[in-house]
Chain A
C-alpha cells in the first residue's frame, strides 16, 4: 500500500484514463495520416485536463487532438467521446454516437444500460471502469485484452 501525498482530482484522473484508453483500442478503417480525436461533451474540467495530458502526444503514430463539443454537433470526426454528467443532453448525444464507430465513455450509473461502451465508477476512493463488450463489438471497435482485464465486463441483458 503506498502513501499518497498529493491531492488528485477526479477529473484529472478521468483525463489520464481516457488518454490511456486510446492506446489499447483499435478503430476500423484507421489510417496513419489521420488524427486521433478525443471529443468531450458537458465536461469542461475533463476537457481541460485532457488537453494537458495529450499535449504533443501521439498514439500509433497518430496525433492526439482534443475537441470540446456542444450538442448538437457533428460527431463523425470523433474516435473517442466522453459524455459528462453536467449537461442535460447526455442521452441524445449517446443516441447519435451509437450509430458511429465511436468509443463512448461516460460517468453515470445508467450509461451502459443506455448503450454506452465504457463507464467510470468510483469505488472506495479509486476510479474503476466497466466495459460493455457487446456495444464495442456492434460498433466494430476492438478493445485490447490488456484493457479488458482491468475492467468490469458487462454484457447486454438478453
Chain B
C-alpha cells in the first residue's frame, strides 16, 4: 500500500520544513523562503515587510514623525519603554535614578517634562498632578507593542492640551495577532531580571484574547560618589486585551491592566511641622494602579468611520512620605468622513473627569488636598486635496479646562508631493499646556537657614492660583524622500515661540508664626512671566547597505533662548538652555548574519548639560540574537558598554540623581 507513506499534501510538508529553517538539501538557506511551494494557508501567515498603507500615509504626513517598529524594539535590546525611546531623533531620554527618567522632545527636559503628551492605546498617561509622566508605571510588555509613533511638534489640534512639543503614541498589538503562548525570561548583571508569561487564543469565531503576567526586577544604580544607591525596584504587572470583529463593519477592543511597583529613592527634605530640619533620606516608593479601556469602531467605507472610546484609570502612588491618589474617566468620540471629492474631515468630542487626593508629603502640601477637574473638548480637522499634489489641512481643537477656561489650539499644514516618493511640508500650530496641581496648589518647604537672634528662615515655594496658560506657536518645515528601495531620509526644522513660561518669583520676606515656631518666611512663587524661543532640526535616514544590513543614522540639534518678561525677578529661566543637550547623534546598525543570527548595535552621542554640570557622553548598546528554531530565540545584550558608569541628568528638584551602570543580560524567548 504505497499511498500510506506518501505525504498526502506534499506541498505543505515541504513548506513546514522551509519554515523550520531546516536545510532541504541546498548548501545555504536561500535569501527568500520558497513561496512557490507554500500552501494558501501558509501564505496567509506570511508577514509583508514592505511599506504598509499606514506607513504610506505617514510618509505623506505634514508632521515630523518617527515610527519605532516592533522589529526596532526587539532588536534594540531595550528592557523598558524609556530605553526604546532613545532611538527617536529629537527625543531626549535621561535616566535620573533607578526608576525615574526625564524624557522630552525638543527641549525642556526634566523629571516631569510638561510638554509631551504620552498615550498608550489612546489612554493618556500624562498626569495632571505634576504635568508629566510616571515612566515607571508604563510597563507595557515590549513584545506586545505593535509600534510607537513619535510626533515631534505640537499635537494640540488632534490630541489636545499638553502636546506642546510632541506626542508619543504607544500602540499595542491586536489580540488577533498574538495567538499562542509566549514566555520570556531574562537575567543579567546587577540583579536585573524579567519574566513574561502570556497566552492568547480565539474566543468563538469572532474574538481573540491575550492574557499576560510580567515581573521585572531592576538592581540599584550607583550614587555619584561610587556607593550603591538604595534604588533597586521591582514591578508586577498583569493585563489582558480582547479584540472582536463583531460584524463586517464593527470592531470592539477591551483591554486592562493591574500594576504594582516597589522602588527606592534618595531625597533631600525640609520639614515644616517639626523642628526646622533638613535631612537626606532613603525613602520607599510604592505604586498600585489599574486601568480598563474599551473602544468600538464602525467602518462605513474606506473613507468613513466612527469610533467611541472610554477608559477608567486609577492609581495610588506613595512617594516621599505622602500618598497621591488619582482616578480618571474619559469618553471620546471620533467621526471621519469625506465631504465631497476633495475634503476629508475628522471631528470629535471628548470629556474627561479626573479626581485626586494629594496627601501631604514630607515637604509638600497641596491646598486643596482633593480636587476634581472636568475637561470638555471638541475638535475638527479638514484635509483638503487642493490639487493632486497639494494637500492643505486645517483644524482646531477647543477645550474647557478647570484652570484657565476655554482654550483654542488651531493648526494649518500644507503638504506637497511633487513625486510619489517625496514630500515637502510646512506647518503652523498653536498648542497649550494646562496648569497642573503643582503649578497652582502646592506649597513646598525648600530650605531653612539660621538668621540672627537664633531664629531661622524658611524658604517656601508656592503655586499661584491665577496662572495663565503656557502656550507655543510653532513653525515647522520638513522634507521626506524615498530615494530608492534601499534608502530613505527625513529632514525637519522648527522654530517655537513660547509664552507664559513658568518662572520662580521671589517676594519680600516676612515673619510668620504658623506653623510654629515663629520664623522668617522667604516666599517664592511659581508664576508664568517668561518667554522662550527655541529652534533646531532633526535628520534621520534608513539605509539598507546590503540586503542583510541596515544602518539608521540620526541627528538632532536645538538652541534654546529663555528669558524672563519685564517685571519678573526670576533668575532660573535663563538657564533653561543649559539643561537640554544641544546636539544628539545616533547610529543604529541591524545586521542579519547567516545561521539565523542577528547582530544589532546602537551608538549615541549626547551633548553636554552645562546647566547641570554634566559632560557630554557616548553610549553603546549591542545585541546578539539567535533564532534557534521556529519557537525559540536566545539573545545576549550589553548596555552602556562604553564606561563603567555615567550620569545622564542632574538632580530632579530634591531627588538625587544617580549614575547608570554598564550592564549585560541574557534572554530566552519561547513561543508555542
Contact = CB atoms under 8 A, between A and B. Distances in A.
A135 B500 CA distance: 63
B134 interface: no
Given A16-B38, A20-B39, A20-B43, A125 B52 contact: yes
A17 B46 CA distance: 11
Contact of B33 (A8, A53, A150): A8
B45 interface: yes
Contacts of A24: 40
A32 interface: no
Given A52-B36, A150-B41, A10 B627 contact: no
Interface string A1-41: 11111111110110111011000100000000000000000
B22 interface: no
A73 interface: no
Contacts of A13: 35, 43, 46, 48
A2 B174 CA distance: 16
Interface of B: 19, 21, 31-33, 35-36, 38-41, 43-50, 52-53, 146, 174, 176-180, 182, 248, 302, 547, 592, 596, 627, 630-631, 633, 671
Most interface-central of A1, A19, A57 (chain B CB within 10 A)? A1
A92 interface: no
B596 to A, nearest CB: 6
Given A5-B21, A126-B47, A128-B44, A19 B36 contact: yes
A156 interface: no
B346 to A, nearest CB: 18
Interface string A118-158: 00001011111000000000000000001100101000000
A16 B34 CA distance: 10
Contacts of A147: 40
Nearest to A49: B35
A124 B177 contact: yes
B186 to A, nearest CB: 17
B36 A9 contact: no
Given A13-B46, A125-B48, A6 B32 contact: yes
A63 B178 CA distance: 40
Contacts of A127: 43-44, 46, 48
6 tightest A-B contacts by CB?
A16-B35, A125-B47, A109-B302, A7-B49, A10-B48, A53-B36
16 contacts: A3-B627, A3-B631, A8-B49, A10-B48, A13-B43, A13-B46, A13-B48, A16-B35, A52-B36, A53-B35, A110-B302, A122-B52, A125-B52, A126-B48, A128-B44, A146-B40
A2 B45 contact: yes
A2 B19 contact: yes
Contacts of B177: 124
B671 A1 contact: yes
Contact of B46 (A4, A146, A152): A4
A124 B53 CA distance: 10
Interface string A55-67: 0010000000000
Contacts of B248: 152
Contact of B179 (A1, A9, A53): A1
A15 B43 CA distance: 11
Contacts of B46: 4, 8, 13, 126-127
Given A122-B48, A126-B47, A127-B48, A7 B36 contact: no
A122 B53 contact: yes
